[in-house]
A = this chain, B = another copy of it.
Amino acid sequence: MTNSVPPLALEAELAFVPIGTLRTEAGADITDVTIAYQHWGTFRGDPHGANNIILVEHALTGDSDAADWWCEVIGPGKALDTNTWCVISTNVLGGCKGSTGPASTHPDGQPWGSRFPAISIRDQVAAEHAFLQELGIERVHAVIGGSMGGARTLEWTLMYPEAVSTACVIAVSARASGWQIGIQSAQISAIVRDVNWHGGDYYTTGTTPVDGLAAARRIAHLTYRGEQEIDERFGSQAQRGENPLGAFRRDDQRFAVNSYLEYQGLKLTQRFDAGSYVTLTEALNRHDIGRGRGGLIKALASSEVPTMVVGVDTDILYPYHQQEHLSRNLGNLLAMAKIVSPVGHDAFLTEARQMDRILRNFITLSTPDGLELGTAYIGDEYYI
């Protein structure tokens, strides 16, 4: 198999790989699982050894179109240079962008709905691992991801260290904190209290729990953005043409920030499935590197994959001390980087200049002696 070329689809094209039945960590079977993916750049090297694959992991409501949502760092000449690297990104198990999730069709022809089991971050990684194996890929040069993508990246280094040469873990923690579980569960609660939720089996009712999903996003968005950034943008300004200071409170007379948050909620309902939102949020609640591995500290210490940790100084959802905790305890820390930004958690998506510098540094650190890939050689051009 050495030096065989994985049968990748056309560049950028959304493609689907069946991986069969997946038994979840909690013991349920998901049959006929499909993983959707896209890739950019040409594969080089050995699919079982040194190669140029960078696996990019998306966040909660992201998708496999990493060259879109991370367009400032993925592409020709960019930090993750697709002239050099083969960037692969999958849609997560439980999602709604091509991979199997609650909105997908069960083998019996009906939607999975409430029959879709609870999944963990580990289940997501197991599915992605099975996907790579289906393509004949036994090893990747790097896994990179932020937020829920960072949780998957961290699990990759512990579940399949032999398959990962280096890792870059961004804006996440070693396990869900009590505060995170609390705020994430408040979001789940907003959805399941929507009368259109129907216990998760709304797909055939002609209605969807849009109000609940929008409410969830509204709460979530306030954890994705820094409080100073929100205030600098909106302060206590009225939405144009509306008067939030009238004699009676009215839902249609809003502060500008509420118009913004309602718009964020509405946008999400137009592109994302509530069932997937609940499933993936529940997976975040279950994120715990220490489970079954002797606890957090032992698990982190056991990590052998050279790992870079990145955080944001104003992150409300995954405060920077959580990345400091990772850095102090990871068995093979490659480097640590702090994004300084008023933007908060989302800064890894929005602070292009800083992410460019950080990811170029990661690439340099991850290829200290260059990377010989048959006729190709990757290395020098990355040294700063």
* A residues whose Cβ falls under 8 Å from a Cβ of B: 24, 26-28, 114, 117-118, 120, 175-179, 181-183, 185-186, 188-190, 192-193, 195, 211, 215, 218-219, 221-222, 225, 227-228, 230-236, 244-249, 251, 255-258, 261, 278-279, 282, 285-286, 288, 291, 316, 319, 321
Copies of this chain in its oligomeric complex: 2
Smallest CB separation, A289 vs chain B (Å): 11
Given A177-B230, A177-B235, A286–B245 Cβ distance below 8 Å?
yes
Complex: how many Å from CA A222 to CA B235?
22
Question: Which residues of the other chain, B, contact A27 by a CB distance below 8 angstroms?
Answer: 247
Whether the pair B118, A178 counts as a contact (CB closer than 8 A) is no
27 contacts between A and B (CB under 8 A): A118-B246, A118-B248, A120-B245, A175-B236, A176-B236, A177-B230, A178-B235, A179-B222, A179-B257, A181-B236, A181-B257, A181-B258, A182-B261, A183-B219, A185-B258, A186-B218, A186-B219, A189-B215, A189-B218, A195-B195, A219-B219, A228-B321, A236-B285, A236-B288, A244-B285, A255-B285, A316-B316
Complex: how many Å from CA A335 to CA B258?
35
Smallest CB separation, A184 vs chain B (Å): 10
Complex: how many Å from CA A182 to CA B189?
18
With beta carbons under 8 angstroms apart, the residue of B26, B189, B233, B245 that contacts A246 is B26
Given A218-B189, A285-B255, A233–B178 Cβ distance below 8 Å?
yes
Whether the pair A227, B177 counts as a contact (CB closer than 8 A) is yes
User: What are the 3 A-B residue pairs with the smallest beta carbon separation, nearest first?
Assistant: A179-B227, A178-B234, A28-B247
A interface SS class: helix
Whether the pair A258, B182 counts as a contact (CB closer than 8 A) is yes
Complex: how many Å from CA A67 to CA B319?
36
* Closest B residue, CB atoms, query A28: B247
Complex: how many Å from CA A24 to CA B27?
60
Smallest CB separation, A21 vs chain B (Å): 14
Q: A182-B221, A189-B215, A249-B278 are in contact. List 6 more A-B contacts (CB 8 A).
A: A120-B245, A181-B255, A182-B230, A182-B258, A183-B219, A186-B261
Smallest CB separation, A151 vs chain B (Å): 13
Complex: how many Å from CA A215 to CA B278?
17
Among A186, A222, A249: residue with most chain B CB under 10 A = A249
* Closest B residue, CB atoms, query A187: B219
Complex: how many Å from CA A30 to CA B185?
39
Question: Which residues of the other chain, B, contact A279 by a CB distance below 8 angstroms?
Answer: 249
Smallest CB separation, A353 vs chain B (Å): 25
* Closest B residue, CB atoms, query A212: B193
